[in-house]
């Protein structure tokens, strides 16, 4: 079970697991793009940095272009970026850059970009010199918050589509994000050298999905370099120069930050007006705090100090900021005593799924606490609340932007900080409206009101919804419609992108999506469907709390919230799953699932009658001891609820969505 769940999360990022290897090599190629959270190594001494300061004051807005590349995962964004940096000499073609690869292990493994990055290039076009800034965007919609803030620093974007695969669901989501920002969108087709490429068909899909003219679309092969020389000219010609004035007071948008252990917080800013240089005193409009600027510069691709950053440019600012919490992404900065009208800013990242995180061993609480703090230093989009569970003790309830975000966080926690953690099944935030007019968000199923409370005090229970976009070959239309209906989905539209590809939009409860939806999508479409979603508000829903009792005692960490229609099925499935994952112990373990005060299902894990190795003589001793020590390790990974030992999988058995 656990594997299935994990897979569904990983699956969100990897559109097709067979291509995983290819992606790793591509991720290698994009290594020059520094990973935001890992920029601490090799910070040069101050003297060195001052000596290397470059002067970019000659690059006025008309000589600057700020752009991003948006693409479905695996459509070649990183390879394209790599080629662009090579042709502009930012990195050499020696292949040395491949050693720098994606520094976050999870990013490397999954071929995804989690944090936004930026790199500056100098190039010549029609005899004039330009400073072109590539602002990278994460590909996955879980990180759409990151995408939108990256886009706010650009004036245009390249919409990169794989000529063989055509438009995928993430392409659509990212396009609308860019379109919503009013950016110039330049479609380009990548991988046209592949024998399976169908550029005309992909162009047609672009036209029908986005209603943009794809007649003179650029054909590329980022891998072979074909068409690369047309990319930057298109960017310069078709993307507008940034606006703003050098004479106006300094005004900048903070759009990304990371923590450097030597200098503190490093801020990436887009300069909207005026200029900033070392020694200036700047003010955060969000907090009113003053900072002295220690260093400014561009990402080239490493931090390269500059004498000054000015209107239209995008670069980093180091200003004595001690904690990432002070760096409010979307904040406007101005010079001390020269206030400006603030930029619109961003709404704070909103948690879409929640999960309980607990140390496997209560003695590890402090260590885990430190790990979580360190990780959230670089990822302020994780919402952190302390939580105490009767069953699991002290822990946290963490809010994530999506299930991939959650899984990435968990993996980073385990790998980078060597923490043994128990992560409970994902839940979505429910909203309860009380008769007295108050309302409350429920992040933990244990806090969900009981049937009696609902009857007496509650006016309405609401659950969050998403609008899902599915793109797939038409022969799977029946299967996809059935899948959506089965997950309490409402089909909004289905559109033919070309004669054989369908785009389906469907509104469904978020809770349905965080369970096995993605696995089902892939298996029912033999891997050909792609999927993306966006937040779509709340609706009243007939929800109930399902409790799990082990030997008569309710285990709060196993409680789940679900639609009343699913109670019988899910209750039975949950009890069966728990029976399958709970190992026999020296006493009977009775598992009950109950809702509305009634037992829905009951299973028994029978007492273990015999557990003893039959033969143990001289030659068997080493083997026996090895086995014993392995079993002891395994036991450490169990969570004890009273005397019942629960494996991690037990907590993931609690899935609230509809099941087949």
Partner 1 sequence: MAPARTPLSLYVHWPYCSFLCRFCAFSKARVPAGGVDHALITRALLAELRTSLAPHSRDKELRSIYFGGGTPSLAQPAHVAQIIEQASRLVPLAASAEITLESNPTSAETDKMAAFKAAGITRYSIGIQTLDDGVLQRVGRLHSGAEALAAANRAASLFPGHVSLDMMFGFESQTVDQWQRELETVLAHANGHLSLYQLTVEPGTPLFRDIRAQRVKRNPDDTLALMYETAVALCRSRGLAHYEVSNYAASPESQSVHNIGYWQGRQWIGIGPSAHSRFIDPASGTCLRTVRIPDIQRWVRSCLEHGHGTAKSETVDDAEARQEAVVFGLRMLDGLSNARFMRTGCVSSGALSLAEYLRVNQVQRYLRDGYLRSSGRLDHLAPTERGLQVIDSILLDILP
User: Which DSSP string do the residues of 128-158 spell out, in sequence order?
Assistant: EEEEEEEE---SSGGGHHHHHHHHTT-SEEE
Binding partner 1 by CB under 8 A: which of 618, 646, 655, 659? Answer: 618
Please identify, using beta-carbon distances, which residue of 568 and 608 lies nearer to partner 1.
608
Which of 578, 594, 599, 600 is closest to 645 using CA atoms?
Answer: 578
Query: Among 127-135, 379-387, 434-442, 621-629, which window interacts with partner 1 (CB under 8 A)?
Result: 621-629
The residue among 405 and 639 lying less far from partner 1, judged by its C-beta, is: 639
Binding status of residue 50 toward partner 1 by CB under 8 A: no
Interaction of residue 610 with partner 1, rule CB under 8 A = yes
- Pick the binder of partner 1 from 89, 440, 625, 637 (CB under 8 A): 625
- List the Cα angle 77/315/280 in 5-degree steps: 170
Stretch that binds partner 1, among 111-119, 403-411, 442-450, 622-630 (CB under 8 A): 622-630
For partner 1, which residue of 96, 457, 624, 637 counts as binding (CB under 8 A)?
A: 624
The DSSP secondary structure of 491-530, one letter per residue, reads EEEEEESSSSEEEEEEEEEHHHHTTTHHHHHHHHTTT--E
Instruction: Please report whether residue 612 would count as binding partner 1 according to CB under 8 A.
Output: yes
Exposure of 640 by Cβ count < 10 A (0-12 exposed, 13-18 middle, 19+ buried)?
Answer: exposed
138-157 binders of partner 1 (CB under 8 A): none
Q: Which of 50, 621, 637, 642 binds partner 1 (CB under 8 A)?
A: 621
Question: Least distance in Å: CB of 618 to partner 1?
Answer: 5
Q: Least distance to partner 1 from the beta carbon of 620, Å?
A: 9
Look up residue 77 and give its two tokens: 């964004």
To partner 1, the closest distance from the beta carbon of 423 in angstroms equals 25
Helix ranges, 389-509 (H): 403-416, 451-457, 477-486
Residues paired with 273 in a beta bridge: 251
3-state SS class at 339:
coil
Please state the closest distance from residue 622 (CB atom) to partner 1, in A. 7
Which residue in 245, 628, 637, 642 binds partner 1 (CB under 8 A)?
628
Decide: 344 and 182 in contact? Cβ < 8 Å. Answer: no
DSSP 240-301: PPP---TTSPPEEEEEEEEEETTTEEEEEEEEEESEE-TT-EEEETTT--EEE--EEEEESS
Contact 476, 524 (CB under 8 A): yes
Q: Is 615 in the site for partner 1 (CB under 8 A)?
A: yes
- Nearest residue to 427 (alpha-carbon basis) of 452, 446, 449: 446
CB 644 to partner 1: min, Å: 14
Q: Are 395 and 467 in contact (CB under 8 A)?
A: no
Q: Which of residues 442-471 bind partner 1 (CB under 8 A)?
A: none
The Cα-based distances of 352 to 38, 408, 443, 453, 534 in angstroms read 26, 15, 10, 25, 10
- 614 near partner 1, judged by CB under 8 A: yes
Among 617, 642, 655, 656, binds partner 1 (CB under 8 A): 617
DSSP assignment of 80-139: HHHHHHHHTTSS-TTSGGGGG---SHHHHHHT---S--EEEEEEEETTEEEEEEEE---S
Q: Which is nearer to partner 1, 457 or 624 (CB)?
A: 624
Interface of this chain with partner 1, residues 633 to 652, rule: CB under 8 A:
635
Contacting residue, 45, 94, 196, 611, with partner 1 by CB under 8 A: 611
From 613, 637, 659, 660, residue interacting with partner 1 (rule: CB under 8 A): 613
**363 close to 639: Cβ distance less than 8 angstroms:** no
Q: Does 363 bind partner 1 (CB under 8 A)?
A: no
Around Cβ 200, how many Cβ atoms within 10 Å?
Answer: 13
- Segment near partner 1 (CB under 8 A); pick from 429-437, 491-499, 631-639, 649-657: 631-639
Q: Give 270 or 589: the residue with its C-beta nearer to partner 1.
A: 589
Piece of the chain touching partner 1 by CB under 8 A; list 61-69, 370-378, 384-392, 630-638 = 630-638
Q: What angle separates helix 199-210 from helix 169-180, to the nearest 10 degrees?
A: 50
> What are the backbone angles phi and psi of residue 272, rounded to the nearest 5°?
-90, -30
Select from 517, 530, 475 the least CA-distant residue to 161.
530
Residue of the chain from 237, 606, 637, 642 that contacts partner 1 (CB under 8 A): 606
CB 301 within 8 A of CB 33: yes
Closer residue to partner 1 (CB): 492 or 624: 624
Secondary structure of residue 49 in the 3-state scheme: helix
The angle subtended at Cα 405 by Cα 39 and Cα 489, nearest 5°, is 155
- As measured in angstroms, the least distance from the Cβ of 7 to partner 1 is 24
The answer to whether 320 touches 264, Cβ cutoff 8 Å, is: yes
CA-to-CA separations, 504 to 82, 140, 142, 469, in angstroms, rounded: 34, 19, 19, 6
What is the CA angle 467-470-474, rounded to 5? Answer: 145
Q: Parallel, antiparallel, or unpaired: how do β-strands 156-162 and 64-71 relate?
A: parallel
Minimal distance in Å, beta carbon 393 to partner 1?
19
Q: Does 337 bind partner 1 (CB under 8 A)?
A: no
Please state the closest distance from residue 629 (CB atom) to partner 1, in A.
Answer: 8
Stretch that binds partner 1, among 295-303, 380-388, 549-557, 629-637 (CB under 8 A): 629-637
Handedness of CA 135, 136, 140, 143 (dihedral sign): negative
Nearer to partner 1, 493 or 611 (CB): 611
Let me know the angle formed at the C-alpha of 309 by 308 and 315, rounded to the nearest 5 degrees.
130
Residues 373-412 that bind partner 1 (CB under 8 A): none
52 belongs to the binding site for partner 1 (CB under 8 A): no
Provide the pairing of β-strand 128-135 with 275-276: unpaired
Closer CB to partner 1, 474 or 645, in the complex = 645
And the tokens for 224?
A: 């072979």
CB of 603 to partner 1, least distance (A): 16
- For partner 1, which residue of 585, 590, 596, 602 counts as binding (CB under 8 A)? 585
User: How many residues are listed for the chain in this entry?
Assistant: 660
* Contact between 586 and partner 1 per CB under 8 A: yes
Of the residues 622, 639, 654, 658, which one makes contact with partner 1 according to CB under 8 A = 622
- Examine residue 362 and tell whether it contacts partner 1 (CB under 8 A): no
Based on CB atoms, which residue is closest to partner 1, 47 or 612? 612
Task: Pick the closer one to partner 1 by CB: 93 or 606.
Answer: 606
Site residue total, partner 1 (CB under 8 A)? 23
Shortest separation between residue 607's beta carbon and partner 1, angstroms: 9
In the chain, how many H helices and how many E strands? 18, 33
Cβ atoms < 10 Å from Cβ of 296: 27
Per-residue binding letters, 92-121, with partner 1 (x by CB under 8 A): ------------------------------
- Identity of the residue, 523 or 631, whose beta carbon is nearer to partner 1 in the bound complex: 631
Measured from the CB atom, the residue of 52 and 625 that comes closer to partner 1 is 625
Which stretch, 304-312, 339-347, 392-400, 620-628, contacts partner 1 (CB under 8 A)?
620-628
Q: Which is nearer to partner 1, 207 or 361 (CB)?
A: 361
Q: Which residues here bind partner 1, judged by CB under 8 A?
A: 585-586, 606, 608-619, 621-622, 624-625, 628, 631-632, 635
């Amino acid at each position: 079970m656990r594997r299935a769940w994990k897979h569904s999360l990983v699956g969100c990022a990897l559109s097709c697991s067979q291509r995983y290897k290819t992606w790793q090599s591509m991720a290698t190629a994009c290594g020059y793009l520094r990973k935001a959270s890992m920029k601490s190594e090799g910070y040069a001494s101050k003297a060195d940095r001052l000596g290397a300061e470059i002067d970019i004051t000659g690059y006025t807005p008309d000589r600057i272009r700020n752009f991003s590349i948006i693409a479905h995962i695996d459509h070649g964004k990183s390879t394209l970026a790599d080629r662009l940096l090579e042709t502009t000499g930012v990195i050499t073609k020696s292949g040395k850059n491949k050693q720098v690869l994606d520094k976050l292990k999870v990013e490397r493994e999954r071929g995804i970009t989690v944090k936004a990055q930026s790199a500056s290039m100098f190039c010549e076009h029609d005899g004039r010199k330009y400073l072109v800034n590539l602002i990278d965007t994460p590909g996955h919609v879980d990180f759409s918050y990151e995408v939108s803030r990256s886009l706010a620093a650009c004036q245009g974007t390249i919409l990169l589509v794989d000529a063989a695969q055509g438009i995928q669901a993430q392409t659509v989501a990212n396009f609308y994000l860019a379109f919503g920002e009013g950016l110039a969108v330049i479609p380009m087709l990548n991988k046209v050298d592949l024998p399976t490429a169908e550029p005309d068909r992909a162009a047609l899909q672009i036209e029908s999905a986005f209603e943009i003219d794809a007649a003179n679309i650029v054909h590329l092969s980022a891998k072979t370099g074909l068409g690369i020389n047309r990319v930057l000219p298109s960017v310069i010609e078709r993307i507008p120069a940034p606006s703003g004035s050098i004479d106006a007071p300094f005004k900048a948008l903070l759009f990304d930050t990371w923590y450097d252990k030597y200098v503190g917080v490093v801020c990436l800013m887009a300069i909207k007006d005026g200029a900033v240089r070392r020694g200036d005193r700047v003010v955060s409009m969000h907090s009113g705090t003053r900072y002295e600027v220690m260093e400014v510069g561009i990402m080239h691709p490493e931090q390269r100090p500059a004498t000054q950053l000015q209107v239209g440019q995008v670069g980093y600012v180091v200003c004595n900021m001690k904690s990432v919490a002070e760096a409010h992404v979307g904040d406007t900065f101005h010079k001390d005593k020269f206030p400006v009208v603030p930029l619109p800013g961003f709404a704070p990242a909103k948690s879409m799924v929640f999960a309980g995180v607990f140390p496997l061993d209560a003695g590890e609480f402090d260590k885990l606490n430190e790990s979580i703090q360190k990780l959230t230093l670089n990822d302020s989009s994780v919402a952190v609340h302390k939580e105490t569970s009767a069953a699991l003790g002290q822990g946290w309830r963490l809010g994530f932007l999506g299930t991939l975000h959650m899984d990435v966080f968990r993996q980073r926690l385990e790998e980078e900080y060597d923490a043994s953690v128990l992560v409970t099944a994902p839940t979505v935030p429910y909203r309860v409206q009380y008769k007295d007019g108050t309302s409350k968000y429920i992040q933990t199923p244990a806090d969900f009101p009981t049937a009696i409370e609902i009857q007496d005090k509650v006016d309405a229970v609401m659950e969050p919804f998403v609008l899902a976009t599915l793109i797939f070959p038409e022969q799977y239309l029946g299967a996809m419609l059935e899948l959506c209906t089965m997950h309490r989905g409402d089909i909004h539209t289905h559109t033919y992108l070309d004669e054989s590809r369908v785009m389906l939009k469907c509104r469904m409860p978020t809770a349905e999506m965080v369970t096995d939806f993605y696995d089902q999508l892939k298996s029912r479409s033999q891997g050909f469907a792609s999927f993306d979603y966006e937040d779509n508000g709340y609706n009243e829903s007939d929800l109930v709390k399902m409790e799990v009792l082990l030997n008569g005692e309710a285990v709060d960490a196993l409680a789940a919230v679900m639609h009343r229609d699913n109670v019988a099925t899910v209750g039975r499935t949950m009890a069966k799953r728990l029976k399958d994952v709970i190992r026999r112990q020296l006493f009977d373990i009775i598992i009950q699932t109950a809702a509305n005060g009634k037992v829905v299902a009951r299973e028994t894990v029978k007492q273990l009658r015999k557990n003893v190795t039959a033969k143990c003589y001289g030659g068997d001793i080493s083997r026996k001891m090895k086995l014993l020590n392995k079993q002891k390790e395994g036991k450490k990974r169990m969570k004890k609820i009273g005397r019942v030992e629960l494996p991690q999988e037990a907590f993931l058995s609690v899935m609230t969505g509809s099941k087949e």
